[in-house]
Amino acid sequence: MQLLRSFVFSFLAATAVARPGSGGRPEAAIQARGAKYALKEPPLTTPWTDKVGVDPWPEYPRPQMQRSQWQNLNGVWQYQNASSLSAVQNPPFGQDLGQEVLIPSCLESGLSGIQGSYTLYSWFSTSFQVPSEWKGDNLLLNFGAVDYEATVFVNGKKAGFHRGGYFRFTLDVTQYLKEGQENELLVFVHDPTDDGDYVIPIGKQTLRPSHIFYTPCSGIWQSVFIEPVQANHITGVDLDGNMDGQVNVTVHTTNMNVTTNVQVTVHENGDVVATHSGPSNQPFQFKVDSPKLWSPSSPNLYNVTVKMGKDLVQSYTGFRTISKGTVDGVVRPLLNGEFIFMFGTLDQGFWPDGIYTPPTKEAMVYDLQVLKSLGFNMVRKHIKVENELFYQACDELGLLVIQDMPALRPSQSKTLANCATEAILPDPAQQKEFTRQLELLINQHKSFPSIATWVIYNEGWGQITTYYPEFELTELVKQLDPTRLIDSTTGWYDHGAGDFSDNHHYANPQCGTPFYSINSSPYDETRIGFQGEFGGLGNNVSIEHLWNNQAAINTINQTYEIDTTIDAWNYRSHLLLSELEDQVKRFACSGGVWTQTTDVEGEVNGLMTYDRRLKRVDEDQWKSDIQALYKAASGRRNATMSSL
């Protein structure tokens, strides 16, 4: 095994030097290392399963801070299951780890080549050479997301640690490198999901999947890449463009205490439309004259370059303003000063072959294109955070995003000594960590123009009710990002925080209506009336399109409603959409979220099946029903509110 490894090393060395770095991995190296990796047949495939190969996610992973030089480390790595947290004390440096795994992937997915379960502790390794052209530069090692904790070693030295399964992190590994040689990268991952007493942001992942809670994702599930930089370099760019053409920018740099001059230039089709210099590490503003505004119907974007000394990064922005205001006596969400009826789907981002990692970018964008073509103008990214190319696709296609914070241990309870049951909620330290990760969510994503609203809590999951933490969290989010609306509690325990009065009700909607049901609150006219979830109509189409796992199939009968034919499903959909339209006309409904984009595991209520091979929607009917909602909303701009 040692022999094979050194063979691979010399192979890599030869090819990496021949093809210095601005993009993917040397091809021969991928093949050499890919010899033992094989896709494991998942319980259901997608049209993209067989297209993944051993060079997954070759795209540049960071669209809002692109550097010209980079090298992708995605591909076949080595993998070893470990048995406890203490394994991190004894790293297997220089060893063959015995199995191969595709990076990025979830260890539970067929695409990983492992398809494991209870992969709580794991080792991953690869090696890389730094192109000789990068000599003299610092080297950054970037991870898109590792679920849940990553301890990173380079050449036998600990290079860093990161906690939080949905967020990117960067390590400057310059001091650990060996010049002109292979560098060993070893990563220990601990992902407890909902094991034991852990209460951490997990969204819909659970070690015990059942009906609306699904297979978890462990490991390095987003892209890994290296890039050369100067010692003092740009570490982040916060960009906001508003409807008046004002650009508000903060350029973060390595040395936060030193102010350097940075130059920001806005381009349109190659022409410079504005350029401005300002200080690093503090916000400054400048104006672009009469920009073409961004909206779902005209998703205009502008390229932006940011320069500090020798460091140059490419980004982009869109000019739009999200706000709320009273339109004819009703509090409404506004886009560029006008009432926008936001209508989208609950979008879970699960895949039968990749779990949390879409098989390819094309597959990921396909879901969004289906929504866009039906006329949805929004997508609610449900208690998951996607890779950055997802948000870029929403920016480009013109889909507003309602972004949820991944929930803490959803809807779980424990049995106490006296046999009573109690909801599992965070203790003060766990709540503090939830808050820290909420800050990461906002800070890492606030420059995507399509994101319109942040959601803090979904249906009370992880929401402490002995006091109302949503008020202080709403304040915190407003402070980090004053440019968006906040849906503090979507569904269930609403105590008046945030911008929305958000009802969840299945199957039929209760959107801004003078009636409501259990687990929701009456419409509050001081906030935006919204239907955060409805629909959920089920249809058990056939075994060919099902997640073929008996435990999941056994939960299908928990679906709110089963329609025995696709025609019946479309008939019922039309009734529910018409009911929402009626509520838009009569009451104070400002938008809604249909459950859901696709089936997921034992949940069979998607516009599409879980494999994306079958669309349940009668496209003409749905297009016309969705347009009727926008028409009803625009009819409310000047009408007086009617009532029952």
Ligand X SMILES: *[C@@H]1O[C@H](CO)[C@@H](O)[C@H](O)[C@H]1NC(C)=O
CA pair distance 466, 555, nearest whole angstrom: 33
Residue ranges in 269-328 that form contacts with ligand X under rule CB under 6 A = 269, 283, 285, 301-303
Q: C-beta of 423: minimal distance to ligand X in Å? A: 23
Q: C-beta of 559: minimal distance to ligand X in Å? A: 7
Binds ligand X by CB under 6 A, chosen from 135, 178, 436, 637: 637
Establish if 577 lies at the interface with ligand X (CB under 6 A): no
Establish if 631 lies at the interface with ligand X (CB under 6 A): no
CA pair distance 36, 59, nearest whole angstrom: 24
By C-beta, is 83 or 421 nearer to ligand X?
83
Residue nearest to ligand X (CB): 116
Q: C-beta of 227: minimal distance to ligand X in Å? A: 17
Establish if 174 lies at the interface with ligand X (CB under 6 A): no
Report DSSP letters for 262-313, one per residue.
Answer: EEEEEEETTEEEEEEEEETTS-EEEE-SSPPPEETTEE--EEEEEEETTEEE
CA pair distance 75, 419, nearest whole angstrom: 49
Binds ligand X by CB under 6 A, chosen from 22, 174, 412, 540: 540
Establish if 118 lies at the interface with ligand X (CB under 6 A): yes
Per-residue tokens: 23: 């993009």
Provide CB contacts within 8 A for 169, sequence distance 6+.
142, 143, 146, 150, 160, 162
Contact window for ligand X (CB under 6 A) among 112-120, 193-201, 383-391, 500-508: 112-120
Q: C-beta of 274: minimal distance to ligand X in Å? A: 13
By C-beta, is 178 or 637 nearer to ligand X?
637
Q: How many CB atoms lie within 10 A of CB 194?
A: 20
Measured CA to CA in angstroms, residue 326 lies from 300, 441, 528, 637 at distances of 27, 29, 9, 10
CA pair distance 251, 259, nearest whole angstrom: 10
Establish if 359 lies at the interface with ligand X (CB under 6 A): no
Which of 352, 346, 112, 101 lies closest to 209 in space, CA to CA? 352
Order of all β-strands in the sheet with 70-72: 22-23, 70-72, 224-229, 138-143, 169-172
Binds ligand X by CB under 6 A, chosen from 114, 154, 185, 451: 114
> 138-143 and 121-128 as β-strands: parallel, antiparallel, unpaired?
unpaired
Q: C-beta of 481: minimal distance to ligand X in Å? A: 7
- What does the DSSP 8-state code read for residue 110? G
- What does the DSSP 8-state code read for residue 178? -
Binds ligand X by CB under 6 A, chosen from 465, 554, 565, 627: 554
By C-beta, is 96 or 268 nearer to ligand X?
268
Establish if 640 lies at the interface with ligand X (CB under 6 A): no
Binds ligand X by CB under 6 A, chosen from 90, 638, 640, 642: 638
Contact window for ligand X (CB under 6 A) among 215-223, 426-434, 546-554, 581-589: 546-554
What residues make contact with ligand X under the rule CB under 6 A?
81, 83, 114, 116-119, 238, 248, 250, 255, 257, 267-269, 283, 285, 301-303, 482, 540, 542-543, 546, 553-554, 556-557, 637-638
